[in-house]
Amino acid sequence: MEQNYVWKDRKRIIFGLPWTFTRYYLTEEKLIIDTGFLSRKEEEIRLYRILDITLKRPLGQRLWGLGTVHLCTADKTTPEMDVKRVKNSREFKELLSDLVEKERNEKRIAGREYMMADDGDFDGVDDDIM
């Protein structure tokens, strides 16, 4: 896995030490989460598919300078994803946010937010009236 990474880190455990088999890689176009030791799994999400980014820093993580970045995506197989317990999480979140915006602009993709009406319609128009 040799690419031009903008950022990479490992999931951390107690005392902020990287003693896990979860690795995170960020390129200009995608985020890759590589997990496992004997049996490995690699998940990737294209940056333009990321809809929302949330930084979570509970007390236990803040004590060791860590944070978890939660992603809501437009990907059908991975609608939500966590980049768990990484160092400099606020800087990572900002970097990711900037790259997502850059990728959307380059691909001319506009993020659309849908508001669901009470009856389950996406457009908010009452179909009985029409």
Q: Where are the domains of the chain?
A: 7-106
Q: Nearest-CA neighbor of 84 among 13, 4, 5, 8?
A: 13
What pTM does this model have? 0.80
The predicted-structure confidence for 27-39, as pLDDT tens digits, reads as follows 999 999 999 999 9
| Beta carbons within 8 Å of 91's beta carbon, 6+ residues apart | none
If you average pLDDT over every residue of the chain, what do you get? 86
Q: What count of residues does the chain have? A: 130
CATH class, 7-106 region: mainly beta
- Torsion angle of C-alpha atoms 77, 105, 95, 74, degrees rounded to 10: -20
Per-residue pLDDT reduced to its tens digit, 60-95: 999 999 999 999 999 998 899 999 999 999 999 999
Question: Looking at residue 119, what is its pLDDT?
Answer: 45
